[in-house]
Amino acid sequence: GQNIDQPTEMTATEGAIVQINCTYQTSGFNGLFWYQQHAGEAPTFLSYNVLDGLEEKGRFSSFLSRSKGYSYLLLKELQMKDSASYLCAVVDSNYQLIWGAGTKLIIKP
Amino acid sequence: GAVVSQHPSRVICKSGTSVKIECRSLDFQATTMFWYRQFPKQSLMLMATSNEGSKATYEQGVEKDKFLINHASLTLSTLTVTSAHPEDSSFYICSANSGTGDFNEQFFGPGTRLTVL
């Protein structure tokens, strides 16, 4: 079967750095997305990785290792507004999006 | 970026009634639209994929006669929850894919919170 694993919940301090991991086992791989979802709102796009390595976008970076079936989202200089759920989603061989359950990130002052 | 709207944002209805939710791509033509359902503290669950002018493809376990999807134009898809029951109460989110640029990047609507009494 297809499986995406992320931690259920993480807590971090304002101004710090946090890494949210995602491991996947899917039938084929055609890219991995990270989305941010605030409570009661729809997801918003953060990043897309299809090749191995690190993609940096301001305070957010995303890393992919296809051989390990592993990705992480790195958030720097955390702000209170970063409190949200972070969803990892993998595009499988049929170009379907397989969603992880999301990681709820709690930022404390 | 591409904008997707949904209407209504919230709806409360009585058990047994039908509810229609609209999803529109405002500044691009959406060749494919997706309907998701999300229960509290759970991930998105894909319900169906619709392509303009053809029948929707439903995921396993989703009743096609209960969740009617119409994708009549490249900018509009509708989801009708027929004979809604309290267990249908959920957050319904649509997304659209223009088929250009980063493939499979989906642009999400703001969601519709359905409460069935």
**Contacting residues for A28 by C-beta, under 8 A, at least 6 apart:** A92, A93, A94
Q: How far apart are CA B88 and CA B47, in angstroms?
A: 12
The distance of A42 to chain B (nearest Cα, Å) reads 5
The DSSP-derived string for B6-29 is EE-SEEEE-TT--EEEEEEESSS-
How many H helices and E strands in chain B?
A: 0, 11
Are B104 and A40 inside 8 Å of each other by CB? no
How confident is the model at residue B1, as a pLDDT?
64
User: Is beta strand B90-97 parallel, antiparallel or unpaired with respect to B107-108?
Assistant: antiparallel
**Contact with chain A for residue B2, Cβ under 8 A:** no
Residue from the list B43, B108, B113 with its beta carbon closest to the beta carbon of A102? B43
Are A48 and B103 inside 8 Å of each other by CB? no
Amino acid at the residue A54:
L
Phi/psi for B16 (5° steps) reads: 100, -15
Q: Please indicate whether residue A82 or residue B39 has the higher confidence score (pLDDT).
A: A82
Are B103 and A95 inside 8 Å of each other by CB? yes
Residue bearing tokens 């759920």 = A85
Q: How far apart are CA B51 and CA B27, in angstroms?
A: 18
The DSSP-derived string for chain A is --EEE--SEEEEETTS-EEEEEEEE-SS-S-EEEEEE-TTS--EEEEEE-SSEEEEETTEEEEEETTTTEEEEEE-S--GGG-EEEEEEEE-TTS-EEE---EEEEEE-
**What confidence tens digit (pLDDT) does each residue in B57-113 have?**
999 999 999 999 998 888 999 999 999 999 999 999 999 886 655 555 778 898 999
**What confidence tens digit (pLDDT) does each residue in A22-68 have?**
999 999 998 999 999 998 888 888 999 999 999 998 999 999 999 99
Residue from the list B43, B105, B113 with its beta carbon closest to the beta carbon of A100? B43
Are A48 and B111 inside 8 Å of each other by CB? no
